[in-house]
Amino acid sequence: MLLRGSLPLLASALCAVDVCGAFLQGQHDFVDFNITDGFDDIVQGIGKRQTNVELRILPLGASIVNGYMESSGNGFRRYLRDQLRFKGWAVNMVGSKQGGNMNFEATGGDTITQVTEASKLSTGYKPNVILLNAGTNDANQNLQDGSGARMESLLRSLWAADDMSETLIILSSVLQRADANAEKNRIEINRQYIEVVKKLMGEGKPLRYISMQELKMPENFNSDGIHPNDNGFKIMAKWWWVAIEYANKAGLIKAPKPFAGISGTTCEKVAGNAAYGGITQKGSGTSDGIYSHDSKEMGSIFSYTSEFDRGQWFFPGLYGRKYDDLVGWWITDGVVTFATWKNMGEGKFQRLSDMSTSLFCNPAGIWFVDLNGDGYDDFLCVAPSGDTQASINNKDGTDTKPPTFKFIGVIKTNTGYKQERVRWGDIDGDGRADYCVIDDSGNVWVWRNGGTSDIPDQWQAMGLRFTAKGMGDMKGVRFGDINGDGRDDWLWVSESGETTTWTNSRSCKKGKEGDGLNVAWQQGFWKGSSSGPTHAGVGGTSNRARIHFAKIYSSPYFGLLGRADYIFMESTKQSDGKFKFDMKVWKNLGSGGAKLKGLTLTYVHSQTFANGCLQADGNKYCNMHAHADGRMDYVWTLSTGEMTVWPNLGKKSVVGDDVFWGTPVENMFNPSALIGKQLDRRDLHLVDWDNDGACDIVWTDPDNNNKVSVWLNQYKTKGAFTWTYLANPAPVLNCPEKRGLGIHDLPVRWGDVSGNGLSDYLCLEPNGRTWGYVHNTDGSWTYIDQFKKAEGIDRANMRWGNVNGDGGDDLIWIDKWSGDATVYINKGRLDTGGSRYWFNPSGKQYAGSWAGTCQYFPDLDGDGRADLHSVMTTIDNTAETFFNRCGLFDLSGDDAGWAPGQDPGYGALPAEPQLPEIAAPPPPPPPPPPPPKQNWDAGKSEQPIPTGACGQGCSPTGGFFSDAQVKGWCQGLVDDVCNSDNQVFNNDVGFGSILVFAPNKDKECSEVAPATVDECYAYYVQSQANSAAACGTYAPGGGSPTCMFYVNNVDGESMGAMSISGGCIPNGGKLC
């Protein structure tokens, strides 16, 4: 509102609230109320604090309390805090989580039971008011039965917490739902809530109930029919305020008790507990934009004459990722071979001997892709059914002979789609080809190739990963890496060869298995265009099958792979009936779509993207400025190794336009200037090599077993970034592993595993097994044959950081889908399970908000503990920080930055709502009477089981059944399994036959039975000798096989098994 210079208005605004005192009885969903809505323009209470106690409010619940879908991220807290401060209250929102500008305790999807557990993270704040909204997810999941009892348990647990017996709890009704079934359930839940509230208020508990019935569906809700819109949250805030005011008049709000804040730096991390530091990386930087295609026509560079033309040409990378080679499918006498030409570079091909893949396959099912991530294409055959078999490239090819292949069998069964719908491509950029299918609408569904061996360990559903673009013909869909970033792009080729391109970029969006590892798709165009295809095509109406994309010239930017060139295998039929093929190539000169933004603030170095930026993988963090508290600075690294550093200003959080980093130091490190060559940033590590408090730079040489060179940082002594170069300071260090394609798939990591303050050299095998060398305080190195055994987790998702502040780095494993992180706590040197250090699994300790590839664990506040630093988008590289601290922390308080007097417009306090009597729900209808028992004769008396020689198998004295179990049993068998001679089994009795003990073996079971059903037992027959034939046939006596009887009672409860051997059943099969 606008305040004018009016003394009467100002005086009116400073008036205290005039409220009527009455016993708060709340609203509910079954009775209409006549209440003034209170949205007039009366202005009251600006600026001046009342004599009320401080409100330390804990908002508790699930996604509605979280503020999901509210524009500011604060949900109802935004409006409630404004109103309470406007009315003169001192307000402090508390809780272990933060969204917008305030704390709370709420996790989306939580049921009442889960809210009970989560509340334990925040009871240490000792709030004097709790605003509780829970039960929506119970209604969604049909958990309405017992909801009142679960809510009562939650309420009592809150009052039972330390110093919280007098805490006022305001319980709100469950909000309306658009879903009819959930709406019915929530009405029942609210009915139970009101009964609980009456009971507990009768016990004198500080409890109030408030209905949110003013929120109407759909006008006050978002389109999901669950969460309020901004106006809906504003209405919620109004009724929370009303409840607080009347509870205060009733004397229910007591002064909050003091709570212990942050204490020390060594403690176990509490899962889900972190101090939100705000968006600490804010700027957008500069990217290379969308993919812009350009090319150079190279003409016909290869010709070959064949006896047939049937789509026989393929371009596999038989010798690695640099070039693609040429093979031609050929079949003779039922044996498939491939004529093979090795790509020697510059468009030159050398004929080799023929190649065999150890697998017969027609051309329509052939795929050459890298199945195991070793950089060499393997051979796949997709059957007409959609099942896929594979042969692995043995990597033994030479300049005269192609590689051999090892057949490994079926690697992927179909998912309901046949051969023509199947595609193979590396969608997630980990170097391993994924299984893709195209549905009837042209959408692409993907299964991730998981594991670290030749045979995929698992196929993980990624869900719908590409939405059809209406091209009209799914036969044109291809996957290929057009821009060299290691991720296969979506290409659609028309019959004329015209190609539409969407490039594949990594996304930070959080996901889950079945719907995750999201992709940021961007459409590319021909240079200078903003629409249309990237490739113009070659004309004609049937040339689609002759178009290929392959690395013929392989002209990559530094740090990237080669770009796929455009190939037209032109076919001309000769006079002799043969076909002449001319390979016409257009060399790829395109750029873009591979270089996402990788800088923070607004600074961008002029060369940032000149040489390529692989998926914004420039972020590094280390204490370059030798800060005394050890806090880490932000370093952005070019693909060529040049570094820029932003000093950490030491702030504990930032809000709004506040900045976390200081003025950048451009060109802090430039390997081209220092040693005359560029260095791939993936091989550069920030490590405090000499333990002087300032991070140094270590290069692990990928072409020399990852041996190290070091540049010692002289900033601490010289006040500027100057470097002392050590070419080979530790000759013993080596790691034969190679890095993968994924941005975090690195063979060498550094971490202070020993806890002596020096970083150790960790060599990671693809399956996560870690060995290496401990850096001793005297500068020497000690070989460790195994730091950590393999845990079935791939190394790309492993990080090292000090989670609990005890000095030694712990192992952090990140869920690639959700970003959640599981921690293995470093317990120190101890030989266990083949490892030399004990890493104790401690479960999930970090709750990810973004995908796993976007999570970092630097110490940004200088307390020696690994914080969670999450890049939010790969487009502009913004990031938010969650600080890992000991004890409880409160970032809100009665923040003076929130200007008092922001009136949300509620006006005067409305009349006090009442809690009416609720009629009990109608009793459930009585259960239908049980069906009559046909032909059960209740007049028969119980008979004991004979205990003679032939009855030992079921004798109560034989130790098989207890007396209680055999009560009412008698020896007798129904006629349907006995012949006229009372033989127990005959050839018509097989597996699963039902026998019933009855008082008279001469009568049918339907005619005689014990007095009650509970005393009549049945058992099922199974024969170990032959389950499909009669027991009598296979147990004629004297050393014959034993027959087993598995016995169940009428309630389906197992009563065990008994055996009758041939010695008990005489020849002929008679029982006795």
Q: φ and ψ at 250, to 5 degrees?
A: -85, 0
152-156, 326-330, 673-677, 910-914, range with the lowest pLDDT: 910-914
Cα(314)–Cα(300) distance, rounded to whole angstroms?
17
Q: How far apart are CA 615 and CA 784, in angstroms?
A: 34
Structural domain count of the chain: 4
Indicate whether 255 and 281 sit together in one domain: no
Domain assignment present for residue 226? The answer is yes
Tokens 């594979």 belong to 390
pLDDT (0 to 100) of residue 1023: 31
Residue 247 · residue 24 · CB < 8 Å: yes
Q: Which of 8-17, 716-725, 893-902 has the lowest mean pLDDT?
A: 8-17
pLDDT at 1065 over 60: no
**Confidence band, pLDDT 50/70/90 cuts, at residue 10:** very low
Average pLDDT over residues 322-335: 92
Per-residue confidence at 930, pLDDT binned at 50, 70, 90?
low
Answer yes or no: do 55 and 192 share one domain.
Answer: yes
Judge if 425 and 469 occupy the same domain. Answer: yes
Domain boundary among 562, 588, 614: 588
Which is more confidently placed, 926 or 115? Answer: 115
**pLDDT tens column, 174-187:** 999 999 999 999 99
Task: Using pLDDT thresholds of 50, 70 and 90, give the confidence band for residue 288.
Answer: low
pLDDT > 70? residue 205: yes
- The residue type of 1052 is G
Q: Predicted confidence band at 923 (pLDDT cuts at 50, 70, 90)?
A: confident
pLDDT in tens, 737-787: 999 998 899 999 999 999 999 999 999 999 999 999 999 999 999 999 999
User: Of 716, 710, 725, nearest to 694 (Cα)?
Assistant: 716
Is 49 inside a domain boundary? yes
Identify the domain boundary among 850, 883, 916: 883
pLDDT of amino acid 615: 41
Q: DSSP secondary structure string, 380-441?
A: EEE-TTS-EEEEEE-S---SSSPPPEEEEEEEE--SS--GGGEEEE-SSSSSS-EEEEE-TT
pLDDT above 80 for 554: yes
pLDDT of residue 592: 83
Q: Give the pLDDT confidence of 379-397 residue by residue, as tens digits.
A: 999 999 999 999 999 999 9
Same domain (yes/no): 245, 302: no
Count of helix runs (H) and strand runs (E) in the chain: 12, 52
pLDDT digits (tens, 9 = 90+) for 461-490: 999 999 999 998 999 999 999 999 999 999
Position 599 pLDDT exceeds 90: no
Percent of the chain past pLDDT 90, that is, above it, reads 65
Q: Does residue 237 carry a pLDDT above 90?
A: yes
The pLDDT tens digits for 835-886 are: 999 999 999 999 888 999 999 999 999 999 999 999 998 767 889 999 999 8
Q: With 50 as the cut, is the pLDDT of residue 457 above it?
A: yes
Look at residue 1048 and tell me whether its pLDDT is greater than 90: no
Which residue range is the domain that position 574 belongs to? Answer: 292-344+354-588
pLDDT of residue 796: 96
Of 103-117, 249-263, 410-424, 594-608, the poorest mean pLDDT is in 594-608
Q: Is the pLDDT of residue 48 over 80?
A: no
Q: State the virtual CA torsion across 937, 942, 947, 953 in degrees, nearest 10.
A: 60
Segment 160-171 shows an average pLDDT of 97
Q: Same domain for 314 and 337?
A: yes
More confident residue, 239 or 900: 239
Q: Please check whether residue 620 lies inside any domain of the structure.
A: yes
Within a domain: 910: no
pLDDT exceeds 60 at position 11: no
In a domain, 936, yes or no: no
Q: Check whether residue 834 and residue 858 sit in a common domain.
A: yes
Cβ contacts of residue 517 below 8 Å, gap of 6+?
427, 428, 448, 462, 465, 511, 816, 817, 851
pLDDT digits (tens, 9 = 90+) for 968-1013: 333 333 333 333 333 333 333 333 333 333 333 333 333 333 333 2
- Does residue 518 share a domain with residue 448? yes
Is 93 within a domain? yes
Strand order in the sheet with 444-450: 422-425, 434-438, 444-450, 458-466
pLDDT at 1026: 34
Tell me the C-alpha distance between 662 and 649, whole Å: 6
Q: State the number of CA atoms in the 13 A half-sphere of 322 facing the CB.
A: 8
888 is a domain residue? no
**Same domain membership, residue 711 and residue 836:** yes
Mean pLDDT, to the nearest integer, of 1018-1024?
32
Q: Are residues 60 and 128 in the same domain?
A: yes
Residues 1013, 1049, single domain; the answer is yes
Domain CATH for 621: 2.115.10
In the predicted model, what is the mean pLDDT of residues 351-368? 94
Q: Token pair for residue 87?
A: 């009315």
Q: Global pTM?
A: 0.70
Residue 568 lies in a domain: yes
Report the C-alpha gap between 425 and 737 in whole angstroms.
25
The better pLDDT of the pair 1033, 256 is held by 256
Q: Are residues 338 and 306 in the same domain?
A: yes
Q: Do 255 and 361 fall into the same domain?
A: no
Tell me what the pLDDT averaged over the chain comes to: 81
Last residue of a domain, one of 528, 562, 588: 588
> What is the CATH number for 237?
3.40.50.1110
- Collapsed DSSP state (helix, strand, coil) of residue 118: helix
Q: Where is 56: in which H helix or E strand? A: strand 55-61
